[in-house]
Amino acid sequence: MTRWIAGAGAFVISLDSLVNIAFPAMAAAFAVPPEQMRWVIICYVFTYAVMSFVGGAAADHVGHARVFRAGAGLSAAAFLLAGMAPTLGWLLAARVLQGLGGGLVYGTAPALVTLTAQPHARGRALGFLNAAMGLGLSVGPIASGVLVDAFGWRAIFAVRVPLALLVLAWALALPAARAVAAAPRLGVARGMLRAPVVVASALAFLANAGIFAIWLLAPFYLVTGRGLPARVAGLLFMLTPLGTVLAAPLAGRIADRYGARLPAVAGLVLETLGLLVLSRAEATTGTPLIAGALLAAGLGLGLFQVPNMVAVMTSFPAAQQGAAGGLTFLARTLGVVFGVATLAQLFAARRLTIGMAAAFGESFLLAAVMVATAAALAVLHRRK
């Protein structure tokens, strides 16, 4: 049951993909240019990047279930406030609160699933968790297109309030006591400085920095560049997280049986190829090719994420699984913040000089270079 509760919490938090397809509507409502939407991402993602590690480490002391429930409650409050936002500043404040709640859920969910799994099945347990996250990311764009067209962008926050409350109610069934003994701070620091942890964290940073070219810019490419309605754009956009859903369980099984390196490297290569294809896309590029590139990038991320998480989690003892899980999300989300800030700045600068279509291409090309760098580092580390 613990695995399902953790998965449900991760699913609700990952439904934040509802926001991306709504970016054009939100930008229009607040009368701001497209690149200003980066702050809607950064305020949320940077907050939960830090809070996921802090919350995970704290949960090793006070109990993973207790911190998980606090995250679900904060998330429900944040969704309510965001849906009521009269100004962009109000919305950004609500996104910070949402980051606090989301970080507490993300920071404790990996520990909840690994502490209840056999050592030889950790990959499958983490594959289940990542699949639940990917499912939330997949459902979000489709639901967002329908909600935005029918009710406006505020509905993407309002619809998640009851879902977060349901997770909170279900999480009351989790054991209240902490599952493991308190972890010495020195032990956590030593675990973070191990070579496999440092390398895995660096790879996660780059892989997630690159993928956010899709999360930030693809909605504008699909809606503005190709003139697609939000519903159709949502269907195409969801192919990236759907690929992650399909690949995550398989990657977990491969990691359990053959180790983490092979699927991680293969995933980074596949993600790079998907981003390269998108860097060449134009308004008249065939829809099947765009769909294939979006799916390939998601498949690659799914193949990479799970074994990468396994590599980090297995480097820490049971008493530090909360800190380990939080560290995986810290590395991911710092990469997201870097990717969003860098790609948005590049897009904003180049859009004014070479046009929107060419700026899209350069941004996706830079994203592909980031992920290709991660693939090269993974190969070099394996040889070493």
Share of the chain above pLDDT 70, in %: 94
Distance CA 56, CA 175 (A): 17
Domains of the chain (ranges, CATH numbers): 2-170+191-383 (1.20.1250.20)
Per-residue pLDDT, averaged over 241-251, amounts to 87
Per-residue pLDDT, averaged over 103-129, amounts to 82
The per-residue pLDDT for 186 is 46
> pTM for this one?
0.73
Could you tell me which residue, 180 or 17, shows the higher pLDDT? 17
Tens-digit pLDDT profile for residues 283-302:
788 889 999 999 999 999 98
Which segment, 78-87, 311-320, 372-381, is predicted with the most confidence on average?
78-87
Which segment, 99-108, 128-137, 236-245, 340-349, is predicted with the most confidence on average?
99-108
Per-residue pLDDT, averaged over 270-284, amounts to 90
The per-residue pLDDT for 95 is 95
Alpha-helical regions (H) of the chain: 2-14, 18-21, 23-30, 38-62, 64-83, 88-114, 122-151, 155-158, 160-171, 185-192, 195-220, 230-237, 239-258, 261-279, 287-313, 321-354, 356-383
The per-residue pLDDT for 99 is 94
> What would the DSSP string read from start to end of 337-373?
HHHHHHHHHHHHHHHHHH-HHHHHHHHHHHHHHHHHH
- Residue 181's pLDDT band (boundaries 50, 70, 90)? very low
